[in-house]
Amino acid sequence: AHTNGKGGVSNEAPSLKKIAELIKSGKAKNIIFMAGAGISTAAGIPDFRSPGTGLYDNLAKYNLPQPESIFEIRYFKKNPEPFFELARELYPSKFLPTLTHYFIKLLHQKNVLLRCFTQNIDTLEQLAGLPEEAVVEAHGSFSKAKCLDCDKLADPKWMKETVFSGVVPRCLICEGIVKPCITFFGENLPQKFFRHMKDFDSCDLLIVAGTSLQVQPFALLINSVTFETPRLLINREKVACYDTGGGFDFDGSFSPIRRDVFYGGSCDDGILELAELLGWKEELLKLHKEGHELLKEEFAKDLAGEKVDDDVDALAAEFGKKVGISEEEKSTSNEFNDNKDDAKVGISEEEKSNKVNENKDDAKVGISEEEKANKVNENEDDAKIDKIEKGEALEDKHKEETK
Ligand code: OAD
Ligand code: ZN
C-alpha cells in the first residue's frame, strides 16, 4: 500500500476484504457486474483469446483472413459458411452455469445488483435464474435470428434445425441470409445496451470478471462509473491498465484515488473468496447445487422430449427440403398442412398468410378462418416489434460499432 502524495480521498490500497465490507455495510447497493467469456470457461465453453484454448487459436480449418473474420459482418455477408459451421458448436446447449453466475444471481436476490452486463452469448446468466431485466446481453444472443435483407424474424426452432442440417439459412421471403442476433464486428449493439448505459451513473461498485476488455464499446464501460467508484477485476490476467484515462490502476501509479482491486486467478476461486468474506459462502454453494440439480432435471426432460420429437422432426425436415425445391409442391401437398408442422419446416407466419392469400382454394391448405385471423394478428405484432426496433436504431445518438 502506497500513498500517492496527492492527498486523495483514500490512499489506502483497497482489497477484496474492503470490497466485501462495502457490500456488507450496505454502502454498495447498486452493483454492476461486467462479464466476459472467462466466467463460462469453467462450464466447458472456451473463451476467445486465451492462447491455445481460446476460440481464435482454433479456427485454422476455416482458412480465414484473420480469426476475428468469423464474426465480421462484411466477411459474413460474402462467406457465411464458416460462421454457420462454427455456430453448431456455439449454439447454447446443455451447459450449466458456474459458481460465478450463481454469485451474480445471489447479488440480485440480495437486492444489490443494479445490472449484469455480459458479453457472453451462452445465456448462462438466465439459466442461473437472473430475470431478463437484470441482464444486458451486450453482444446479443442466439435466441433470435433475422434476415439480413428484410429484417424478418425467423422461427427459432426452424433456425436451429437449419443450422444443424448444415445449410446456410435463407429467408423464406427474400432469400437473404438469416443471421442469429449475436452482434458481429461492424454491427450495432442491441438497443438495450444503450438504454442501460445510464446505469453506470448510479453504480457504487463495479465488478468485472473473465474478460480481456479488448472489445469496444463494452470495454469503455469500466470508465463510465464515477472516478471514486470502487472497481474489482477478477481475472487470470490484469487487463485494461492503460494510464490514458479510465484504465485500471491497481497499484496507484497514476490516479489520485485508490479504488481498483485485482484478484488474479480463476473467476470461481475469486468469487468463492469474496463470498466467504461476505459470509455468503454456504448460501452460494447451496444455490449452485440446487440450481444444477434443477437444470439437470430439465435437460433430461428435454432430451426425452427430443427423442419423441425426432421422428416427426426428421419427416418435417425432409418435407422442408422438398418445399425449398418446389413452391407448387408446398401449396398442394396435404401431408403437413397444420400449424404445428408449418412451424417445424420453418415457414414463417408472414409467408403462411401470404400463401393463404395466394391460394384461392383455402380449404386445400387446411387453414380455417379463425386460424387465418390469428395469423394476421401475430403478423401485426411482429411488424410492430420490428418498427419499434428500427425506430430506436435510427434515433439512437450513441450509435457505435463493436471494435
Ligand atoms: P476473451 O477471450 O477476450 O477474454 C477472456 C479473459 O478471461 C482473458 O483475459 C482470460 O485470461 C480470462 N479467463 C479465461 N478463463 C478464465 C477463468 N476461468 N477465470 C478467470 N479468468 C479467465 O473474452 P471476452 O473478453 O469475453 O465478441 O471477449 C469479448 C468479445 O470478443 C466476445 O464477446 C466476442 C469476442 O470477439 C463477439 O463475438 C461479438
Ligand atoms: Zn428476407
Distance 150 CA to ligand 2 centre (A): 4
Nearest ligand to the CA atom of 402: 1
- The pLDDT mean for the chain works out to 79
Ligand nearest to the CA of 152: 2
Q: Alpha-carbon dihedral of residues 128, 129, 132, 137, nearest 10 degrees?
A: -10
Place of cell 460499432: 401
Q: Which of 162, 114, 159, 129 is nearest to 141 (CA)?
A: 159
pTM for the complete prediction? 0.77
Write down the pLDDT at residue 90: 85
Question: Three-state DSSP class for 175?
Answer: coil
Q: Check pLDDT > 80 for residue 363.
A: no
Query: Ligand 2 centre and the CA of 238: distance in Å?
Result: 44
pLDDT at 12: 72
* Ligand 1 pocket member 212 (CB < 6 A): yes
Whole-angstrom distance, CA of residue 25 vs CA of residue 388: 42
CA atoms within 13 A on the CB side of 335: 13
pLDDT of 398: 27
Which pLDDT score, from 0 to 100, does residue 75 have? Answer: 97
Q: What is the pLDDT of residue 269?
A: 98
Cβ neighbour number for residue 293 with a 10 Å cutoff: 10
Query: When comparing pLDDT for 2 and 341, which is higher?
Result: 2
Please confirm, yes or no, whether 2 is among the known catalytic residues: no
**Which residue owns the Cα nearest ligand 1 atom 31?**
215
Mean pLDDT score, 56-77: 95
Name which residue leads in pLDDT, 339 or 39.
Answer: 39
- DSSP characters over 277-344: HHT-HHHHHHHHHHHHHHHHHHHHHHHHHHHHHHHHHHHHHHHHHHHHH-HHHHHH--SS-SHHHHHH
pLDDT digits (tens, 9 = 90+) for 217-251: 999 999 999 999 999 999 999 999 998 888 999 99
Pocket test for ligand 1, best of 45, 48, 241, 272 (most atoms within 8 A of CB): 48
Strand partners, 117: 34, 136
Q: Which tens digits make up the pLDDT trace of 14-47?
A: 899 999 999 999 999 999 999 999 999 999 999 9
pLDDT of residue 301: 86
